[in-house]
Amino acid sequence: MGKLASAREYRMYGPTRQSRNRAEYINAGLYLFATVVLISGFAAQFSGEPRSGLVLLLIALLIMVAVNVHDMVAHLSGIDFRLPNLMELDPQLALVEFAVPLVLAAGALLWFLAVLFLFLQAQKGYRYLGWERHSLNMVVAGTAMWVLGSIHNVCQIYERADAHVQILQQTVQLPFLMGSLLFLVGAILNSREQAKKEHHGLHLLGTTLVWMSIYGSLMFFVGGLANVVKVFKMQQMNGLRLEKLRGGALERLMQGREGQVPLIIEEQRRRSARLPAAAAGEPVATSTMPAVTTNIPTPYKDVLLGHAQP
């Protein structure tokens, strides 16, 4: 599975700037570590103790769920959790910054449950035979959600981001999409193979699925490594332009943070309050300022000219 690769300026991984940078580094590093564990888990299926590989898969998938949830919370906190108010002005907030980590985390959770069922079946000795079909279906559904999230991740629109940032984005997004497609192909082929044979337990992870998963995990590793480089570049390069909120969403966010009401809306409220009073024949309260007369000092030249005239 992939992870969200966004160039948004409004992302809040921590309360302060230093903690935000540190948390974003940890987020990228944990995902890279999870891809290594994922590769090791699938490679362990060819060893003499494949159950240890399932434990590694469970650990890697759990880390990936946590990383994607962290991405979603970081981007929502960057806009003060005002997604319903801002997504009508900037739809990419809902389709990318919110939907991508949510869909990817849901796909990883389905994979986690499928592997957990296989692990319990191997531990308890085929007492959970009814879970086999559900496990295979969850594997296919989870990989399909990874592909959907990766497609949404690629379909991002840039208006203000630098070309350098866009290149970094593509180096992260494309490996995630290719890895998700490899997982999906392997899951579909494995499901068709298992439908023709009677396998139980660990044998449900066929050779085709394991090899395709190893290749897909390698693509995830490449994307995770590129993501670490992207995070480093985005934090170290001064003056690098990132993508801002569009369609008036930035102005609405700033107005909400400052607690200010636009002048046009305030004037409309005042007029709407005056109209019922005028229709009822009641006097409308108007602000009357007393006339203040001030003695403006006359320049000395004008005084002399005034006295000189007859």
* pLDDT (0 to 100) of residue 127: 57
Q: Inter-axis angle of helices 207-236 and 17-43, to 10 degrees?
A: 160
pLDDT higher for 198 or 6?
6
Q: What is the mean pLDDT of the chain?
A: 79
Strand segments, DSSP code E, in the chain are: none
Please answer whether residues 96 and 149 qualify as being in contact, where contact means their C-beta atoms are separated by less than 8 angstroms. Answer: no
Q: Spell out the SS3 assignment of 59-78.
A: HHHHHHHHHHHHHHHHHHHH
Predicted confidence (pLDDT) per residue in 74-106, tens digit: 888 877 777 777 777 778 888 888 999 999 999
What's the pLDDT score for residue 108? 94
| Cα–Cα distance measured from residue 138 to residue 132, given in angstroms and rounded to the nearest whole number | 10
Q: Which two tokens stand for residue 5?
A: 């690769």
Q: What is the pLDDT of residue 223?
A: 94
**Structure confidence at residue 15 as a pLDDT band (50, 70, 90):** confident
pLDDT per residue over 278-309, tens digit each?
455 555 444 444 444 444 454 544 544 454 45
pLDDT in tens, 177-190: 999 999 999 999 98
Question: Is 239's pLDDT higher than 60?
Answer: no
